[in-house]
Amino acid sequence: MAMLRRSFALAPGAECSIEVDPRTVDAQRLQVLADLGFNRVSFGVRTSTPKCRRRCTARSRTSWWRP
């Protein structure tokens, strides 16, 4: 994030977003990202439907996801 701030003039209050894998992110990692200046997180979810996941060959679980 520091390199981005050095390379680009970010507007005050700019939305700084990052995509994370819900299978590997935890509260500690989210805190590190916030400390770095990220203020928006996108969870990379292909689908919450097991049938579609099998077709996409995704390996994620949906136990945390409730559509």
- Convert the pLDDT of each residue in 19-39 to its tens digit: 998 888 899 999 999 999 999
Q: What ranges do the domains of the chain cover?
A: 15-67
Torsion of CA 22, 24, 26, 29, to 10 degrees: -110
Quote the mean pLDDT of the chain: 81
What pLDDT is recorded for position 36? Answer: 92
Give Dmax (Cα) for the chain: 45
From its phi and psi, is residue 13 left (phi > 0), alpha (psi between -120 and 50) or beta?
left
Separation between Cα atoms, residue 67 and residue 64, nearest integer Å: 10
pTM tops 0.85 = no
